Amino acid sequence: MLQLTYTAPNTLDWREAPPPRLSSDAAALVRPVAVATCDLDAIIIGGASPFPAPFPIGHECVAQVIEVGDAVADIAPGQLVSVPFQISCGSCESCRRGRSGNCRGVAFMSTYGFGPEVQRWGGFLSDLVCVPYADHMLVPVPSGLRPAAVASASDNIGDAWRAVAPALEDEPGAPVLVVGGAGPGSIGLYAAGLAVALRSESVLYVDADPGRREIAARLGAQILAQTPRRVGPYPVTVDASGDADGLGLALRSTSPDGVCTSTAIYFGEQPSLPLLEMYTKGITFRTGRANAREALPGMLDLAASGALQPEIVTTTVVGWADAADALLEGGWTKLVIER
């Protein structure tokens, strides 16, 4: 089979690879039909990630189930499913507590498309992918949803979901601040769209990029181009900026007893965090990788209801054969590759 492989900075090649087989009776084989870029992919392709070439890429997708093991009860061939980018067993202590991103049943950071275990699991820009725990990992896509619209549910929409959905469940209607950016910048936009869909009374999206601000406005958010020292205060804040000033804005703008979640990846230390203000106000600050599997049902249901329209964030859609050229060309906020 063919799989798109990162071979060197700004170099992608379609390479032949042995097709995967069912790894156990609990596994499934799936055929990706719509693959989305993660905001991390731009860093990977540019050679700025810590993962050495070569490795297969792609870790957000909707796929068609091709074959299932004898012990698979809930998933059947022919179904369209969302595939979380993290491998998780569903039965270990971490998974039972809703922390599948740190599943103890597999090696640490087992993911598709990047990471220390990528050679074992492959990437979604492939003809076929093995999902080792099919009943746990695979989530059927509701009828009526186009695969391309929710291809990013595997990671980036889920990353945005964890930044706003739990906080808005605890405090319904709370105002939300999102500081966007961080590479192509889709996660902040999804966070703004989710906050609107989850009925936040007001959502402010801050970003210097005019294209992303236009998308945020279409999603129903108020927009601000400048990055001031503080706004608000807001009970729920999201740092999706990847920028020290943006992180500082989110933290300083969090109200007493509020929650600030950073979805951005920071390489190196970040000085001058307002720790005394955070301490005084009793702010909860969260960072780290999302638990992708747990976020899937809620966000897919929200998209199926029409309250969330993730396709608004998509800026480019190309065919499978054009994947490499489109990825290398860049310029997208969210690129979706359809088979």
Round to whole Å and give the CA distance between 74 and 94.
Answer: 22
Q: Tell me how far apart the alpha carbons of residues 193 and 23 are, in angstroms, rounded to a whole number.
A: 38
Render each residue's pLDDT in the chain as its tens digit; 339 residues.
999 999 999 999 999 999 999 989 999 999 999 999 999 999 899 998 888 999 999 999 999 999 999 999 999 999 999 999 999 999 999 999 999 999 999 999 999 999 899 999 999 999 999 999 999 999 999 999 999 999 999 999 999 999 999 999 999 999 999 999 988 999 999 999 999 999 999 999 999 999 999 999 999 999 999 899 999 899 999 999 999 999 999 999 999 999 999 999 888 777 678 999 999 999 999 999 999 999 999 999 999 999 999 999 999 999 999 999 999 998 999 999 999
Residue in 134, 2, 124, 117 with CA at minimum distance from that of residue 63: 124
**CA–CA gap between residue 87 and residue 239 (Å, rounded):** 26
**pTM over 0.75, yes/no:** yes
Q: How many CB atoms lie within 10 A of CB 69?
A: 17
How far the first Cα of the chain sits from its last, in Å, is: 15
Question: Which of the following CATH numbers is that of domain 2-155+290-338: 3.40.50.720, 3.40.50.300, 3.50.50.60, 3.90.180.10?
Answer: 3.90.180.10
Enumerate the domain spans of the chain.
2-155+290-338, 156-286
SS3 label, residue 140: strand
Could you please report the per-residue DSSP string of 223-252? EE-S--S----EEEEEE-S-SHHHHHHHHH
Q: Which pLDDT does position 271 carry in this prediction?
A: 67
What are the residues facing 55 on neighbouring strands?
6
What is the amino acid identity at position 272?
S
Residue-level pLDDT at 182: 83
**Residue among 231, 243, 183, 229 at smallest CA distance from 205:** 231
Q: What's at 263, amino acid-wise?
A: T
Between helix 186-197 and helix 292-305 the angle, nearest 10°, is 60
What token pair was written down for 329? 């060309």
Here the tokens at position 51 are 């993962």
Query: What is the architecture, at CATH level 2, of domain 156-286?
Result: 3-Layer(aba) Sandwich (3.40)
Looking at residue 268, its pLDDT comes to 77
